[in-house]
Structures are given as C-alpha cells and as structure tokens.
Structure 1
C-alpha cells in the first residue's frame, strides 16, 4: 500500500526546480507589484533597524548626557519611524494579498479549463472530490510557496540584514555570539525536511478522502436513509478524519521540533551577549545606550532568523499541494480543443456506422464491427439486454470516446475529422439520468441554447409538456431546481431536459432510455414531449420499454456488441426471434401503454 501511495503522489520534479518554475511562470507576471512590495518591505526593514538604533540614542541622552531636549527629539524620531513602518507594512501586506488572490484565481481557471478538455474516460478513473481538493488546496499552495519566498527575502532577510548591521555597528564581537547558533540549527532542520514531505503527501490524500465520503454521503442521502447507512457512513468519515487528525498531529510535532532547538540556542546566544555586554558597560566604560541598542536589535532579529531557518520546512509542506495542481495542468489533454478542424455541415443528417469496433480497455471488445444507418428524419431504435453496447453507440456519436476501428459518418463526413464543438452543436441528447444544474428552470432550459429568448424558452417548454407544471410553481420559470434537480419530480426533470433539447433545435436527437425510470403517468407525458422533439429529425433512441418504440422506422437488436436482428416492429414479431421474445416477456409482465407515433 505504501508503495502504491508513493507511486501516485511522488513528485517527478525536484522541490527547488518546481519552486523555480513557479517563480518563472507565475511570479514574473506580477513583477512590478512584487517590486513595489519589496521596496515597502525594505522601508519596513530599515525602520525596524532604525528604531533599534534610535532607542540606544534615547538611553544615552537619558543616562549619559541627561538632555531633555534631545530625548524629546529622538523620541519624536521614534514615533515617525513607527508611523512609516506601519504604513509600509500595510502597503506590502495589501499588495501581496492582491497578488496571491490573483494567482489563486488564475490557477483555478487554468485547472478548470484543463478539466473541460478531458474526456469522459479521464473522469471515470477518478473521484470528483480529488479535483475539488486540487482546485482549492492546490491553488492556495502555489500562492503560499510564492508568499513564503517573497516574505523570506523581502521581509525577513532584509530585516535581518538591517538589524545585524545595527548589531555590528554597536559591537562586532557581541554580534559574533548571535552567528554561532546558525550551524547546529541548520543541521537539525535539514533532517526534518525529509519527514515533512511524506507527511504533507499523506495530508493531501487524507483530506481528499474526507471530501469523498462527504460528497458521496450527501449526494446519495436518499440511499443512505433508505438502507439506514447513517452509522456506516459515520464510521467511514470517522476513520478518514481520524487518519487526517493523526497525520496532522505528526506533522505539527515534526515541524515544531525546530522551535525548542532555536529557542535553546537563542537563549544561550542572548545570555552570552548579555554577559559580555553587561561586562563592557560595567568594567570597560561602554555606554548603556550601545548595550541597549544591541540587545534590542538582537531580540528583533530573532523572529526573522527563526522564520528563515524554517523556510525549507514550510516550503516543502506547501510544495506538495502545488504539485498536485500542476500535474493535472501539465498532463496532455485527453480531449484537446480541435476547433481548428472543419465544422460539420449537415444536409440530410444521415448517420452511418461503418464496421465500428470499440474497446474501453485492451482485449475487452464492447462493439464488434457494428454497422447500421440512421436515415434522415426517421427514428432508429436500439434495444437489447443491458451491457450489450447500446449506450456506447451514443457516446461514440457524441465523441465522448473515439472509435477503435471503423468509422462513423454524418452526411458522408467522418465525425473524427470534424470539430467536436460543431458535432455536438448539431446534436441534442436526453438521457435516463437527467442532470439539472444549480439555478432556475429558465436557466436550465436555456442551457440548450445560450442566449435563447424568452419566447423560445416558453415555446420549448410548451412543446415538452412542461409549461403547465412550471406555471403551477409560485415562482414559475424562476423556480430553483435544487441540487441535481431535487426540487422536481422525475417526470418534471425529464421534461425540462427535453425542453432543453428542443430549444437547441438540433437536427440529430439521441435518446438514452429517456422514460425507463418513470411511472406510467409521467411516461405518457414525457412520450408526448418526445414526439415533438423527434419530428422531422434524425433520431437514435435506446429503449428499455419496447412498447415505446413500436412505431420506430428501424429497430436494431443489440447483443454482445453486435446487431443480431433488425427490422420494423411487425416484421420482427413475425420472425419470432430475440425481439419477439423480449416483447412477449414485457407484454406479459407489464400493462402496456398505447403506442405513440414516431415516439422513442
């Protein structure tokens, strides 16, 4: 299991190579803003050092020269210094926040755009919560890496240099004590970095698992309730949360091990400086202001020095998240944009499969040299047992997958040689599992044709037998559909989907068991809507209930990826083959509805 985890999450790039890439690709875009922030950080660092130096002068004026006027003057300087420091700190903080927000937004756009260029197969191998984690944690990690770098250089390093300058000015020998803590600290921190990398990977994976359980539990809440799975899902969530909590605790322990080391070493350095500085004031006549200024600069330099010492640990804890985002962005698109290809030009909308073979995986044939023609303006029905390859045919027609062998043509044009956008723009699809997007009924119908007018939306709803029930809602077309259309019944969702297909006014219609999950009353309403949808259009329909396709112009019986029978309803019944067997079985077990002309 550990080997698998390492293989999945291992970073193919070195940490510093990836950091250089982030700086080159993302930080350079905002170099002017970074430069301004850097200059403000330099002002802040200078004022910090200036305050430490000025406090020493105030002490000297008070205890050595005993000058009230000069004490007041230097005290005024201190106020001005801190005012400038506050303004510069505010300025660079706001600038860096705006840069970070822009980088997060840009990376989220990049990732989502990349996902929109991936094929159905790409998503079938992954859980959607993984992409949510990459979109949020990954994008934020990129900005965290860049923020750590700019703050380390602009805030901490400049402050440390300025304060060390004050220390050296006041007493170079005392400053030497401060430098003695660095070598042992670096040796210990170097060992902690390796441990942090592994824990950061585990943290990302564990958080993704929490999102998976949460998403599945909420989206499948009806199943959870129906099968009393509340305790089971709580146990799964508890296990995921506990694993993440334990890993986070380990990460906290490891990353915090530097603190006692730095505090202890810092304590020795401060004690040595105090002893030496105090001795110089008492025995060697050094001014107290010089001693006070040095100690102030030393104490102020302590925090930026600690942050710089921890920089490698902090970077490595964030670099994993940045990699999880970039590995998706970098991977070749499985469905790249092909708008450069010629557009599909329709005359009759004649669809033909020519010896089409398809495999989801090697040595697993789903369609085997399938050939048929869907004539223009007519209904072609695909029937047969589940798993025979019927839905795969529609997926290939939409180019959700590419054929392994053979070809699919529309009006003599190979669909593989035209752009997907033009192909899908000429096709309307209605499936058994209707997906409605968050928003209103009006918005969901209009998705079929962006920019559709109010008259077009209403006309489509009327043709889909949806207008009346829509007006029955208090908000009418402005009624929210809820997540996945949960506010609507199955028949209502189906008719909204048909209205969405109608408003598109596409010449080719693909229906995938559009009435299979409906009750008889809802099915009748949906069938009436489907009649309008299919009129004068080339229609390919997958049917589970055979009475819905009795008047289809051609019926193809699909088994094992092959067409084993074809013909019209009456002809197939007379032959007494597979279709007749299916029909008699359904006719015996169910009360058939009256057949509908040209319905699917």
Structure 2
C-alpha cells in the first residue's frame, strides 16, 4: 500500500469506529451489557483478591489469628470461583455476539454482491470477494470484542486494582504512572506501521487465493502445458510475501512488550524499595506492602493489553475497511421489485435502435433494430465480437443500453422489474454452469419447489433421463464442482432440463452446442428443439447447420445487422451469410483432404 493510502486510512479510523459502534451496539447492546456486567464482576474479584492477600499476611504473621485466616481462605476461594464463572460466561457471551455479527455481515455482503451487475465483477477476481466475506465480516466482530474486552475487562480491572493500590499506599501508587508517558509516545509510532503491514498482508492473502482458485479450475491446462513449476514458483513467491508481511506485523505489534517489561520492572523495583523501607524503618504492616505489590503485578497485564490496543485495532482496521467498502458502495443493479411486473402475452421481442458499449472507446452495438416474432426462432450469426452475446445480455438486462430500447410485447423492459423479466426468460449458454450438489438440485433450480414428477418429465424432454438413471444414484448423483463429474453433453442436457422446468415463454440460446462433439450435439439439438417448440427463441450459433431451419437469421457484424432473412434467401443473396456458410462447408473438405 502507498503512504497516501495509509494516511487516508489513518484519518478514516475514528469515523469507521464510530460507524461500527452506531451500526452494531444498538442491535446488541443488551447482550453486550450482560457481558460487560460479568467482566465488571471479574474485575472486582481480581481487585478483591489483591486486597485479601494483604489481610491474609497481616492475620497470619502479625495477628496470628487462625480463625480469621480460615475465613479469609474461604472468601478467597469464593472470589476466585466467582471470577472464573464471570470470565467464562462473559467470554461465551462475547463469542456468541461475535458469531452472530460475522454471520450477519456475511449475509449482508452476499446480498450486496447479488445486487451488482456483471460489469461490477468483470475487472475483479472472485478471490477478493472470498477474502472480504471472511476477513472483512470477522473484522467488525473482532474490533467490537477488542473494545468491549478492553473497557470491561482490562480498564475496569485496572481501575479496581489502582483503587486497591491507592488505598494501601497513595504515595507508592504514584510510581505506577512512570510507565505511561514513555509508553504512549512509543506506541503512537507503531500504529501507522501496523496498519500498513496489515493491509499488505490482506492483499497478499487475496493473491494467494487467486492463484489457488485459478490453478484448481484450470488443472487440465496446468497439466497439459506442464505449468506445475511456474505456478509453484508463483504461489511460493506470494506465500513468501505474506510470510514477510506477517513477520513484520509480529515484530511491529510486539515491540511494545520490551518497553512495557522494562518500565514495569523499574516501577516494581522502585515500589519494592519504597515499601521495604517503610516496613523496615517505620514498622509499617507488611500486609499493605504485600497487597500493593500483588495489585501492581495483577494490574500489569491489563495495562499492557490496553497499551497494545491501538496496535491491535489497526491490525483489524484493514479488514473493517474492506467490509465497509463493499457495503457502502452504491449497488450497480439496485432492487426494483417496486416496479410493475412484466405482463407477457405473445412473447414478441424487439430491439429498437439500440446502442451499447462496455467502454466508451469501444462501441459494441450501434443502432441495432430487430424483431423476434412470437413462437418462432431468430438466429444470430456472425464473427466473434460482433455483438451477438451483447444482444442477449441486454434482453436479460445484465446491462442497460446507452440509447434505444428493448421491448417485450411492446413494453420497454427498463420500466418493469428485473425479477419478472428474468422469470419470463429461459437461458442456456455455451459454458454450462452447474452448482455443486446433485443432478436433481441443479434441475430444480429452474423452478424451486417443483415436484419429482415435473423434474423427471423435464429431464425426459431434455433427453437426459436415460443417462441420469445409468448412474447408481440416479438423480441423487453429485455433479462435482462446476459439474465436472459429467461430460459436456450431459451438462448441457441438465441445463436444458433446467430451462424446460422453468417453462418460460422466451428462450435465449448462446451457442449451446458449440463445444460438443457430433454425437452429443445431435442429442442436445433434439433437446433444444423440444425446448424451443412454441416459444420465442433467440439463438446464437457458430455452426450454421444448427440454425438452417430458423424462421429468421440475422447476421451481426461490427455492431450492426448487415443482413437478415431465411437460410435459402440469404444463400441466394450471396452476401456475408453465404460467405460464412461456404467457409464452413469448406472446412470439413479441407480437414478430409489433410
């Protein structure tokens, strides 16, 4: 991280803490109050134990009162039992609050990610969101617990023990304050360093997760191109950077310990000299001296933790910043369920002078107009990058056109809710995505709550039932991560069954057979024919023989529709479609000659 970024973060620390307290203490103040009361009880018990040590010494060595010693022994045991119980229940309470906050933050982050459009994810790696979901969600709970524990456990214990010290000897208690000014000056210098190292550690963790995910997902390429050594070197370097950052953070965060130990040792030595002088020369009761030293030693650990609080907080602020960055950003696909629902009649789809660009410097569509008639198939063909997939993206409202409009049955889809629009559309893409789970789980995503008979009927219509039942577990067969337990054709037919179960009026097919072999393509084509029957279908095709019987074929090139018509008419024209068709006819002949 740059110094400028670090400075900005330092300035934002106090507002972030205020935001954190405002967001969470209102919801959890009752639970925190219980934890705080329990920690106060533990602090009082700690101070009481220090005070009782002095009474025990006096009753034993000065008064030699056996009965009083026995009573004090019982009281001390009771105090420690109370302290143990209070500490246990306060720790459990804080842990439960932290777990609830983490769970709520993870739900909020996930919901926020679902409110973003595809462009939001285009230039970000999924590893970043994994890190934010884990580290960022936990940071809020960690910071709150640090603050509550510091006030409820350490600060109250320090106050109670200081009261014992002042009660036993006001003059001697002043010695304890010699550690404060040097410690404050030194610790302020460590805070900025701890924050910058923590941010570097977080960024390094994201890069390691990126490399791990890409390696696992691209294992075939890794093996085929013998990239094992290169990726091992890459992740080793990244892990080394995290190790170095972690080592730096360990050095920075623990630099306070030698200072506090030194100052604490000096203070204790001075207290012993002064107290010993009073006992020996002036006959002061040894119990007060013993009680004071006990309180001083017990106060040392909470004092050290309080001195480190700023450093520890800064280590967590990086994660907290990552959490708020996502939660505070404006949704790129805000909820619009308050808009009217799309009312479907025939399923007529129209693009009216639509222009669109992913970036201002590279327009993709320029005034495109086309109509997909109800119940028919409209095919989009043309070279890669011409804008075919963009048309489907605009119909699904993954993106919004810069000008023009997309209409369904005469209604501008920008005026209706996205949910109602997408519920009216079935989609099957080239890169079929299956969720981790069983075959049944993935089909039922088409319509959650569908009956078993409906699932099986959809699978039969997609020509998938036969291969599903060939598995020992049938519909309960796990598909594996991204469906890798199934072949490409099987995955595609599961996706078609999913779309059939949805029973949408409009079907969008994005090169649904492009990656299949001839046998699988034939089976998928039969499934697609059943899916498209009686529905408005817009199909992107690379293999032109798959759309020869389409009602209308549109050639999309350079952001324009350069020609359209039926297969036979376009061949007679001898234009771009005919050129593509002749080229594909020549490819098998060339392959055979070779």
Report the TM-score, using the length of structure 1 for normalisation. Answer: 0.97
Match of 1:596 in 2: none
* Contact in 2 for aligned 1:9/1:201 (Cα 8 Å): no
Q: CA deviation at 1:9?
A: 10
What is the root-mean-square deviation of aligned Cα atoms in Å? 1.3
Match of 1:260 in 2: 258
Match of 1:140 in 2: 138
Match of 1:440 in 2: 438
Structure 1: gaps spanning 5 or more residues: 593-600
SS in 1 for 2:515: coil
Which whole-Å deviations, capped at 9, do the CAs of 1:66-106 have from their partners, x for residues lacking one? Answer: 11111111011100000100111111111111000010011
Match of 1:517 in 2: 515
* Contact in 1 for aligned 2:430/2:513 (Cα 8 Å): yes
Match of 2:176 in 1: 178
**1:460 pairs with one of 458, 470, 483:** 458
CA distance in 2 between partners of 1:465 and 1:68 (Å): 92
Q: CA deviation at 1:6?
A: 5.3
SS in 2 for 1:368: strand
CA distance in 1 between partners of 2:38 and 2:128 (Å): 39
Q: How do 1:18-417 and structure 2 match up within 5 A?
A: 18-417=16-415
SS in 1 for 2:92: helix
CA distance in 1 between partners of 2:152 and 2:310 (Å): 16
* Contact in 1 for aligned 2:10/2:192 (Cα 8 Å): no
Q: CA deviation at 1:325?
A: 0.8
CA distance in 2 between partners of 1:181 and 1:334 (Å): 52
CA distance in 2 between partners of 1:26 and 1:214 (Å): 34
SS in 1 for 2:363: strand
* Contact in 1 for aligned 2:6/2:195 (Cα 8 Å): no
CA distance in 2 between partners of 1:220 and 1:589 (Å): 29
Bigger Cα displacement from structure 2, 77-86 vs 5-14: 5-14
Q: CA deviation at 1:363?
A: 2.8
Which whole-Å deviations, capped at 9, do the CAs of 1:289-313 have from their partners, x for residues lacking one? Answer: 1111111000000000001111111
Match of 1:597 in 2: none
CA distance in 2 between partners of 1:266 and 1:8 (Å): 32
CA distance in 1 between partners of 2:385 and 2:352 (Å): 21
Inter-CA distance 441–119: structure 2 relative to 1 (3 Å threshold) = same
* Contact in 1 for aligned 2:428/2:496 (Cα 8 Å): yes
* Contact in 1 for aligned 2:506/2:535 (Cα 8 Å): yes
CA distance in 2 between partners of 1:9 and 1:121 (Å): 30
**1:450 pairs with one of 445, 448, 451:** 448
* Contact in 2 for aligned 1:342/1:417 (Cα 8 Å): yes
Q: CA deviation at 1:252?
A: 1.0
Q: CA deviation at 1:28?
A: 2.0
Aligned length: 590
CA distance in 2 between partners of 1:450 and 1:232 (Å): 44
* Contact in 2 for aligned 1:344/1:418 (Cα 8 Å): yes
Inter-CA distance 533–360: structure 2 relative to 1 (3 Å threshold) = same
CA distance in 2 between partners of 1:320 and 1:123 (Å): 22
Which runs of at least 4 in structure 1 moved beyond 4 Å after TM superposition?
5-10
CA distance in 2 between partners of 1:315 and 1:589 (Å): 65
CA distance in 2 between partners of 1:80 and 1:251 (Å): 41
* Contact in 2 for aligned 1:431/1:513 (Cα 8 Å): yes
Bigger Cα displacement from structure 2, 112-121 vs 192-201: 192-201
Match of 1:598 in 2: none
* Contact in 1 for aligned 2:394/2:400 (Cα 8 Å): yes
* Contact in 1 for aligned 2:389/2:540 (Cα 8 Å): yes
Bigger Cα displacement from structure 2, 440-449 vs 215-224: 215-224
* Contact in 2 for aligned 1:440/1:477 (Cα 8 Å): yes
* Contact in 1 for aligned 2:6/2:196 (Cα 8 Å): no
SS in 1 for 2:358: strand
Which whole-Å deviations, capped at 9, do the CAs of 1:131-179 have from their partners, x for residues lacking one? Answer: 0000000111111110110011000000000000001111111111101
Inter-CA distance 7–509: structure 2 relative to 1 (3 Å threshold) = farther
Structure 2: gaps spanning 5 or more residues: none
Which whole-Å deviations, capped at 9, do the CAs of 1:545-581 have from their partners, x for residues lacking one? Answer: 0000000000001111111110100111111111111
